[in-house]
Structure 1
Amino acid sequence: MSVTSRIDREKGVVTIAIDGRFDFAQHKDFRNAYKDVAPGSMRFVVDLSRASYLDSSALGMLLLLREHVGGDPDRVRLIGSSEEVRRVLKIANFDRLFRLD
């Protein structure tokens, strides 16, 4: 269970990768991955390809990231989610708030 981030200044992208369960235990690490990035300066990609599970607190964390970037749906992409994770995202209508790739 971990959250890692990588900043590509050339492309203007911060990639946040989730490995394992995405739940409240990752709150601090997830927030630290984006809190020092000036809003509007970068785009974010949340890589869920290694996420085995997400709960309502994870959904809340994704909403906080969306709020951090000003609510612009083009600034946050969720990529690589498994069928189970994607199902949770769609049930919560996150496909209307984020780009799911």
Structure 2
Amino acid sequence: MTIETKVTSDGAAVTIYIRGRFDFSVVNQFREAYEAHKQKKHFYIDMRQTEHMDSSALGMLLNMRSYLGSDAIKIDIINCSPGIRKILEIAKFDKKFAIS
């Protein structure tokens, strides 16, 4: 599991790439990724290479939203596989995040 970040060229947004398993084993890496960019107003969580996510990953996404201030920022979860998208929809995350 690898978590990497990339800031857009205009500095307005950051993308957090999640590769492999998105579970409790990466809680610290994931937290560090968004806390390092807390001044940004737009985040993309790129799950193109995410193979699996569990309930702790759902909790991490909610913690991120809470830490950054849910009304002040935009978080888009992008490039989800059908399986990941289904998990997010069952958990009603499509009501809290933009998912594509």
TM-score (norm 2): 0.91
Aligned Cα root-mean-square deviation (Å): 1.6
State the percentage of identical aligned residues. 37
Structure 1 stretches (4+) deviating beyond 4 angstroms?
none
Task: Tell me by how many angstroms 1:94 deviates.
Answer: 0.3
Gaps of 5+ in 1: none
Task: Tell me by how many angstroms 1:73 deviates.
Answer: 8.3
Tell me which moved more, 66-75 or 76-85. 66-75
Q: How many pairs were matched up? A: 100
Q: Partners of 1:79 and 1:36 in 2: how far apart?
A: 20
Q: Partners of 1:29 and 1:73 in 2: how far apart?
A: 23
Task: Tell me by how many angstroms 1:54 deviates.
Answer: 0.3
Task: Tell me by how many angstroms 1:36 deviates.
Answer: 2.6
TM-score (norm 1): 0.90
Gaps of 5+ in 2: none
Tell me which moved more, 23-32 or 5-14. 5-14
